Structure 1
Amino acid sequence: MGYSQNNTTTVKINLDETAPIISKHIYGHFAEHLGRCIYDGIYVGEDSKIPNTNGVRNDIIDALKGLKIPNLRWPGGCFADTYHWKDGIGPKEDRPEMVNRWWGGVTEDNSFGTHDFLDLCEILGTEPYLAANVGSSTVQEFTDYLQYVGHKEGSPMSDLRKENGRPEPWNVTFWGVGNEMWGCGGNMTPEYYSNLYRQYATFMTDWTNSDKMFRIASGANVADYHWTEVLMRDIPKNLIEGVALHSYSFVEWEKKGSSTKFDEAQYFSTMQTALKMDELINKHTAIMDKYDPNNKVALIVDEWGGWYDVEEGTNPGFLYQQNTMRDAMIAGTTLNIFNNHSSRVKMANLAQTVNVLQAVILTEGEKMLLTPTYHIMKMYTVHHDAQLLPLTFESELYTYNNETLPAISASASKDKNGLVHISLVNIDSKKENKIEINIKDLGVKNITGSILSSSKLQDHNTFDNPAKIQPKEFKNFKVKKGVLEIELPPFSVVVLEAK
């Protein structure tokens, strides 16, 4: 991608029948035992006055169904490598308490455990992604877990599951073999973890169900390319289906700033780190291509999103932050990057679902609101399992303090019904940008659109005004001689449908 010099970004859509399918799993979510994500967020208990199903808020169930979430990662995060799954099964009154040492040092009663989570996934129609304990567990505990959730009958763990009220297995496909093993998972070297991974992965299959087991290795932190190199070099390809990558967007790690009281310098810096996702994927993919030229191992970006200082007066270990139009820019651009890299990126997980980091939902007592990020994720559901339409363009520049970023981000796809969808983001904080797309070869006549925008970058939905930011119909485009001309307002996201 180059940079435009004529004040208009000309986008070319390439009709490539060999282009990859954009996996719906790129639009996954992440629910860790962290702050108010699970307890007092998703789960309020069966005795709560808030309408619930088995203790899970009905309004959250409805909202997540609206996103068609394809997979949900649980129970962590750093929490995963301190979690012993047997503490969270059986009668709730008999479950032992535990201290959540990573996130606020709070005591949890294990009332939300494996059955609760997997039953929720069934209600949502989503695939569970279990991040299993490697850092403080054993191969035996791990394989018992596999047997408990996946073995139909005739084994000690399947018998135990049936005693606990679940006759049939859940047949979980996605398994994370530890989390952030370079940090909170054990501060391991990649060489040590690769050997440990090989041991765990070996015992994860009974040699008959490998096609149903998707094993994901704990991957690199941001630009740690050595980590990816060692994993791809040292782990046999018959033992691995995915390698993870974690990368967050922020101003500075030690000085993240407020989620709502930020200036343009902080916005620009945040977008610099968000847009670097493209470079990270390119470089990690190049390493993977060297060891896996047939593209058998997927890149799984299972933690991404904006990270700021917590809201004033809240527990610093709970990572509760508001969600503004800046977060909509992060979401729109990042999802476009994932779409455009869908040949290698097969799954991703926004961090996190409720009340933590770049959440799609915030709650306060009985109140609930949908964030700008929620609306972006919903607008982009049109790309789920659609075929990528590769784009080429030279973007206009967003300039601040003599530094520049590409102002325009875009991706496009064609779904199984022949509908073409184009998602466009203008991150420029002040300038409207014009887009031109030649659509003669698409064979489309009718075009409609939706937009997410607001008057200030710092705008956000509150419990007193939960609908301040929401998608609206977009009409600021026209077609002239087969060319679609679009005017994108500053810091806005537009999704067009052509049929």
Structure 2
Amino acid sequence: MKTKIIPFVFLISCFTLAQNVKITILESEAKDTISKHIYGHFAEHLGRCIYDGIYVGEENKVIPNTNGVRNDIIKALKELQIPNLRWPGGCFADIYHWKDAIGPKEDRKHIENLSWGNIRENNAFGTHEFLDLCEQLGAEPYLAVNMNSGTVQEAMEWEQYVNNENGASSLTDLRAKNGRDKPWKVKYWGIGNESWDCGGHMTADYYVNLYKRYATAMTSYSNTEKLYRIAVGPGTDDYEWTETVMKNIPARRIEGLSVHHYSVFDWSSKGSSFEFSDNEYYKTMKRAWFMEEFITKNSEIMDKYDPEKNVGLIVDEWGGWYETIPSGGGQLYQQNTIRDAMIAGLSLNVFNNHADRVHMANLAQTVNVLQAVILTKDEKMILTPTYHVMNMYKVHQDALLLPTTIENNPDYNGIAAISVSASKSENGTKHISLVNIDLIKSHDITIDIDDISNVSAQILTSKKVQDHNTFENPESIKPINFKDFKVKNGKITVKVPPISVIVFKGK
């Protein structure tokens, strides 16, 4: 059966139809906690993410830094309260050998980044630099193991090097020689990356057998905390891959299953990151909404083999992906507009609402690559609309999910206009995050929530969906206080502007 394509001209006419939207907060049904790790990030050796992005080198006297890492980036990421950071890839992980990047920097092996542009790298940013950065940020490190060109022994020794107590072996002696006596106690380990593609073009059956070797060797024998081993899941709607992994890996050998999804409307022609048409915008939003279906169907398969939901669904790559801006000076450098704020708000709402299964997510990527929260140019730095959405949403971290229902949600050719999630913190504060991806219309919404008062709100929006911050005007887009709503008898009534993200707060 072919899908009927409705002309975009007709879609525009549909936007004029009035919709009265009712959202109900079901606090009495609350039982799941939104893991703070849903608000994680991803930093790969790609373009200007690490070098000339996060890391400028200790010898840099122009840009203030701590051990080579930009101080302004450290400050910005601490403000986000990022809970975890994934590294070194991505595809780069499957050509990365950790021993090349430890010890005196002058002795480190220079490598060619075969995954991303054949760029020469001096390995100045390695295991010690990354794990020390995570300590500065108060974030849990998430290391991706080289499963393609590496070996089981290499992965096992990496885990022992960073986790075992000093003096346990020659590996921990080597770590101490390199300046670190105590272990970092890294919990999260990704075993492989996109093994169906750049990570080896494996079949699901082959991957499962290889994974079991790695997961068996990488144990918690000498560690105080149990390792969290994450298996590779699908990056498309290949649910047979999920079935094979969940069916054949013993429960004692797996703690998480990763999936990847990018909001790309056409992989052969991904379009501009800041000069795009209204039609391209809606195609992107349709792909962003696919996240709901993708998580739901993968969760259904996982529920068959793990009904108690012990294995977490890990969305460790997500975001918008457009054509590289050549003037940005690095691969996959793109601008970040209000469209990306819509992707972020919508996606985070989906993750929150699936908190029973989604245990972690990692936005791709942190600095200067894809849907970055930070862009840099020499000594300048800007915070993107995506950064501001994640900063507004951090209130949901480790809060109790309040289930929601939506009635009369406007639907345009399969795209729902309104997205919502809600939570309640330990001190009783309630937060409701609301997104209207409609490009044209405001929508009248009633939020039915028992027992709420002292309500305040912030909004992120702009006149045009292509609007973005620049190095010349870095605060063109940022959250502002929002007061255009009423509260009466446990109901919030609000007219939500087009292309906007609103977070309400009350008790």
1:427 is aligned to: 437
* 1:94-128 Cα distance to aligned partner (Å, 9 max, x none): 00100001111100000000000000000000000
SS at match of 1:220: coil
Tell whether 2:386 aligns with 1:376. no
Partner of 1:457: 465
Mapping for residues 95-244 of structure 1, pairs under 5 Å: 95-153=108-166, 154-207=168-221, 209=223, 211-244=225-258
Contact 2:190 2:231 in 1 (8 A): yes
1:178 shift after superposition = 1.0
Structure 2 match to 1:417: 427
Q: Which amino acid aligns with 1:435?
A: I
Structure 1 outlier segments of 4+, above 3 Å: 206-211, 312-315
- The answer on whether the counterparts of 1:436 and 1:484 sit within 8 Å (CA) in structure 2 is yes
> 479, 495, 505: which one pairs with 1:497?
505
C-alpha distance in structure 1 between counterparts of 2:491 and 2:400, whole Å: 22
Could you tell me whether the CA contact under 8 Å between 2:187 and 2:226 is conserved in 1? yes
Match for residue 93 of structure 1? 106
- Cα RMSD of the aligned pairs, angstroms, is 1.3
Amino acid in the other structure paired with 1:89: I
Q: Contact 1:395–1:406 at 8 Å: present in 2 too?
A: no
Give how far 1:313 is off: 3.8
Aligned residue for 2:402? Answer: 389
> What whole-Å deviation, never above 9, does each CA across 1:328-351 have from its counterpart, x for those lacking one?
000000000000000000000000
**Percentage of identical aligned residues:** 60
Q: Show the counterpart of 1:302.
A: 316
- Give the CA deviation at 1:398: 4.9
Q: Do residues 22 (structure 1) and 30 (structure 2) align?
A: no
Which whole-Å CA distance do the structure 2 matches of 1:51 and 1:219 have between them? Answer: 40
2:20 matched to which residue of 1?
8
Map of 1:466 onto structure 2: 474
Does structure 2 retain, via aligned residues, the 8 Å contact 1:300–1:346? yes
Structure 1 distance, partners of 2:154, 2:225, is 22
- Superposed CA deviations along residues 6-62 of structure 1, whole A, max 9, x for unmatched, are 621101110135521000000000000000000000000011120000000000000
Q: 2:351 aligns with which of 305, 329, 338?
A: 338
CA distance in 1, matches of 2:224, 2:365: 29
Distance 1:405 1:150 in 2: 46
Shift of 1:214: 0.2
Q: What one-letter code is carried by the residue in structure 1 that aligns with 2:483? A: K
Amino acid at match of 1:77: G
Establish whether residue 366 from structure 1 lines up as the match of residue 379 from structure 2. Answer: yes
**Residue identity in the other structure for 1:57:** R
Moved more, 218-227 or 353-362: 218-227
TM-superposed CA distance for 1:448, in Å, is: 0.2
Structure 2 residue aligned with 1:318, among 331, 337, 356? 331
Q: What residue in structure 2 maps to residue 405 of structure 1? A: 415
Structure 1 residue 395, shift from structure 2 partner = 4.3
Give the aligned partner of residue 45 of structure 1: 57
In structure 1, runs of 5+ residues without a counterpart are: none
Q: How far apart in 2 are the matches of 1:75 and 1:120?
A: 13
Q: Which amino acid aligns with 2:478?
A: Q
Name the SS of the counterpart of 2:356 in structure 1: coil
Equivalent residue of 1:337, what SS?
helix
Query: Retained in 2: the 8 A contact 1:398–1:428?
Result: no
Structure 2 CA distance for aligned equivalents of residues 313 and 467 of structure 1: 21
Q: Which residue of 2 aligns with 1:448?
A: 456
- Determine the C-alpha separation between the residues in 2 that align with 1:333 and 1:61: 26
| C-alpha distance in structure 2 between counterparts of 1:261 and 1:6, whole Å | 29
- Measured in 1, the distance between the counterparts of 2:306 and 2:28 equals 23
Q: Is the 8 A contact 2:86 2:143 kept in 1?
A: yes
Amino acid at match of 1:438: D
Q: Which residue identity does 1:269 align to in structure 2?
A: K
AA in 1 matched with 2:340: D
- Residue in 1 aligned with 2:67? 54
**For residues 469 and 334 of structure 1, do their structure 2 counterparts lie closer, same or farther at Cα, with a shift above 3 Å needed?**
same
Residue 209 of structure 1 deviates from its aligned partner by 4.4
Match of residue 446 from structure 2: 436
TM-score in terms of structure 2 length: 0.95
Query: Could you report, residue by residue, the CA deviation over 1:342-380 in whole angstroms, capped at 9, with x for unpaired residues?
Result: 000000000000000000000000000000000000000
List alignment gaps of at least 5 residues for structure 2. Answer: 1-16
Give the conservation status (yes or no) of the 8 Å contact 1:176–1:216: yes
Using the TM superposition, give the Cα deviation of residue 208 of structure 1 relative to its aligned residue in structure 2, in angstroms.
5.7
Distance 1:19 1:491 in 2: 31
The answer (yes or no) to whether the contact 2:434–2:501 under 8 Å persists in 1 is yes
Partner residue in 2 for 1:283: 297
The residue matched to 1:260 in structure 2 has which SS?
coil
Q: Does 1:77 align with 2:90?
A: yes
Find the counterpart in structure 2 of residue 254 from structure 1.
268
1:208, 1:120 → 2: CA distance? 24
TM-score, length-scaled by structure 1? 0.96
Task: Give the deviation of 1:216 after TM superposition.
Answer: 0.2
Query: Which of 351, 357, 373 is 2:364 aligned to?
Result: 351
- Alignment partners' CA distance in 2, 1:102 and 1:427: 35
State the match for 1:266 in structure 2: 280
Q: Contact between 2:196 and 2:203, CA under 8 Å: does it hold in 1?
A: yes
